[in-house]
Amino acid sequence: MGSLGIVDQFRNVLGLQLEICSQAPLTGFFRNGYCATCPEDFGVHTVCAQMTDDFLNYTKQQGNDLSAPQAHFPGLKSGDRWCLCAERWKEAFQANLAPPLFLKATHYNTLDIISIENLVSKALDNH
């Protein structure tokens, strides 16, 4: 799975074309709205999640305050969509604090870190 060829670059966890996650705020490792990845993306920003207050508080307690505005980053609020690091989403899932996600906008390489069953259990677009 994890090899990132041209074909895989825009494939989601369902094996289909990767859909856009968010353009407002503009997300993704490449800041193009997609949760695409590459070898330089050490954080594996591949999970398209919808922020919740519980998750934002959790990740702040873990040392990554996503709600605080910074240069070229508006800060996130509940309801925003964002490409999260797969490991952080997995940690939050294990703590029962993972935010809901969008399978169609979550990159295929996420499956190297998180099972499809766990992803489906939190999916907003699983129908």
CATH for 20? 3.30.56.110
What does the pLDDT read at residue 73? 86
- Strands (E) across the chain are located at 45-50, 81-85
Pairing of strands 45-50, 81-85: antiparallel
Domain that holds residue 12: 8-121
Number of domains in the chain: 1
pLDDT bucket at 71, cuts 50 / 70 / 90 = confident
What does the pLDDT read at residue 58? 97
> Exposure of 63 by Cβ count < 10 A (0-12 exposed, 13-18 middle, 19+ buried)?
exposed
Domain membership flag for residue 1: no
Which backbone phi and psi does 109 adopt, to 5 degrees?
Answer: -65, -15
Does the structure show a pLDDT above 50 at 2?
Answer: no
Domain membership flag for residue 126: no
Q: What are the distances in angstroms from CA 111 to CA 2, 12, 56, 116?
A: 8, 10, 23, 6
Residue-wise pLDDT tens digits, 83-125: 999 999 999 999 999 999 999 999 999 999 999 999 999 999 9
Long-range CB contacts (within 8 A, 24+) of 89-94: 89/47, 89/49, 89/114, 90/114, 90/118, 91/62, 92/55, 92/58, 92/59, 93/118, 93/122
Global pTM value: 0.91
- Average pLDDT over all residues of the chain: 93
Domain membership flag for residue 44: yes
Domain membership flag for residue 91: yes
Span 41-57, mean pLDDT? 97
What does the pLDDT read at residue 127? 64
Q: Which of 96, 77, 1, 85 has the alpha carbon at shortest distance from 35?
A: 85
pLDDT bucket at 126, cuts 50 / 70 / 90 = confident
